[in-house]
Amino acid sequence: MVLTGGGDCPGLNAVIRGIVKRASQENDWEVVGCIESFNGVLREPTEIEILDEKRVEGLQIQGGTIIGTTNKGGPFAWPVKQNDGTWTTVDRSDEMLRKLQYLGIDAVINIGGDGSQRISLGLYNKGLNIVGVPKTIDNDLSMTDYTFGFQTAVQICTDAIDKLVTTAASHNRVFIMEVMGRDAGWIALHSAIAGGADICLIPEIPYDINKVKAKIEQRYNKRRGYCIIVVAEGAMPKGGTVTGTETGEVGYQHVKLGGVGEQLAADLKEAGVEHDIRCTILGHLQRGGTPIAFDRVLATEFGVRAMEFVLEGRFGQMVAYHHPDIVGVSLEEAVRTPHLIDPNERLVHTAKGVGIEMGD
Ligand code: F6P
């Protein structure tokens, strides 16, 4: 059984296709997809779908996930409404494992980010034959060089910077582009370098507003000039906190990040920047659409190897890209620490080397 959990990400369908195509080369394996992560098993009636070669034809191109996904709830924290109208969560993992057994599921491949792989680990510790596949546009899983979807998001952001440059230059404006990534600045840093941004603000390096202002002024000759700022949604000023809101959505366990771009614009105005400032929030455009070729290849490799891990009985592992190989790492290691940017790392050095102000 294959399932996709957490936020969607370009390349999920390519992984599913890789799994199904590899399984079809064996005589005695049938692949089913569980709808919306584990919810398809937890719901009554059960929502699972047979995935054969015909169903996955040409899927490497398609964004999203044909079996749906969710970043709410799950077998260990299933939301339940109480009599007084408030919500609580219950652990339905044992019940779910019994149901999987009843359905004759021999193995599960869970395609997802850190939250999903924590669920994989919990279920593996309870005896489930499970293999993880790392996905997220945020690239914040530490045991793989890259997660698929990340490079596509970077490409989308880079294309957006290319477009913003021409309008910024025409109007002598400061443009702030807010990108996703949660607590990791990978999307921001990669796209800032690729797009030739002037300033890049990431969660791992809290910024000094005066440094940002100074760089803006350096980009102008009196009133002529322009400036491109890429800010990660999780970035914050020195001594400040992240900008976000509680969604109030049942089972959603995160603060919804967003708004730092507009906040930065307001702070820059208050700090005395007189140029026009505009803010563009790319939002979910970074997650939609077709994966670029790199992600199609990586996702296909992950899918094929994940199926082979099942055939080899390598459960409790997550497939991972350790250039040039696809290897297995234990789920425990995979979720231990997030992959964040070290302020002393090579890519930050490169960014500073081409004059990008990081705000520190
Ligand atoms: O983890 C992927 C991600 O796109 C983050 O970059 C972002 O903060 C979050 O998901 C958005 O989640 P949602 O789709 O629930 O708004």
Residue 327, domain CATH: 3.40.50.450
Tell whether 270 and 174 lie within a shared domain. Answer: yes
CA gap 298, 272 in Å, rounded: 46
Assess whether 98 and 170 both reside in one domain.
no
The answer to whether residues 281 and 329 belong to one domain is no
Q: Are residues 218 and 261 both part of a single domain?
A: yes
Catalytic residue IDs: 138
Protein residue with least CA distance to atom 13, ligand 1? 7
> Rounded distance, CA 248 to CA 128, Å?
32
Q: Classify residue 248 by burial, with Cβ atoms within 10 Å: 0-12, 13-18, 19+.
A: exposed
User: Which pair of structure tokens corresponds to residue 40?
Assistant: 């398809």
- For residue 207, what are its two tokens? 């910024």
Residue from 4, 180, 247, 340 whose mutation best tests the ligand 1 pocket (most atoms within 8 A of CB): 180
Which atom of ligand 1 is found nearest the CA of 6? 1
Q: Is residue 358 assigned to a domain? A: no
Does 164 lie in the same domain as 133?
Answer: no
Q: Quick one: residue 85, left, alpha or beta (phi over 0 = left, psi -120 to 50 = alpha)?
A: left
Can you list the alpha helix ranges (DSSP code H) found in 32-134? 39-42, 93-102, 114-125
Question: Are residue 119 and residue 262 in the same domain, yes or no?
Answer: no
Ligand 1 atom 10: residue of nearest CA: 7
**211: CATH:** 3.40.50.460
Q: Which residue ranges have their beta carbon within 6 Å of ligand 1? A: 7, 71, 136-138, 180-182, 233, 256-257, 287
Which range marks the domain in which residue 81 is found?
A: 2-148+291-334
The residue type of 167 is T
Atom 16 in ligand 1: residue holding the nearest Cα: 256
Q: Could you tell me the CA-to-CA distances from 105 to 61, 73, 130, 236, 240 in Å, in that order?
A: 28, 22, 11, 46, 49
User: Any idea how long the chain is?
Assistant: 360
Tell me the best of 4, 9, 69, 71 to mutate to test the pocket of ligand 1, counting ligand atoms within 8 Å of each CB and taking the most. 71
Instruction: Please give the number of the atom of ligand 1 that sits closest to the Cα of 181.
Output: 6
| Cβ atoms < 10 Å from Cβ of 186 | 26
Task: Tell whether 114 is covered by a domain.
Answer: yes
pTM across the whole model? 0.96
Q: How many angstroms is it from 113 CA to the middle of ligand 1?
A: 11
CA-nearest of 53, 2, 42 to 310 is: 2
Domain count, the chain: 2
Ligand 1 centroid–CA 157 distance in Å is 15
User: Do residue 139 and residue 11 come from a single domain?
Assistant: yes
Per-residue model confidence as pLDDT tens for the chain (360 residues):
999 999 999 999 999 999 999 999 999 999 999 999 999 999 999 999 999 999 999 999 999 999 999 998 899 999 999 999 999 999 999 999 999 999 999 999 999 999 999 999 999 999 999 999 999 999 999 999 999 999 999 999 999 999 999 999 999 999 999 999 999 999 999 999 999 999 999 999 999 999 999 999 999 998 899 999 999 999 999 999 999 998 888 887 788 999 999 999 999 999 999 999 999 999 999 999 999 999 999 999 999 999 999 999 999 999 999 999 999 999 999 999 999 999 999 999 999 999 999 999
Is 359 among the domain residues? no
Give, for ligand 1, the residue of 37, 111, 118, 254 to mutate: max count of ligand atoms closer than 8 Å to Cβ.
Answer: 254
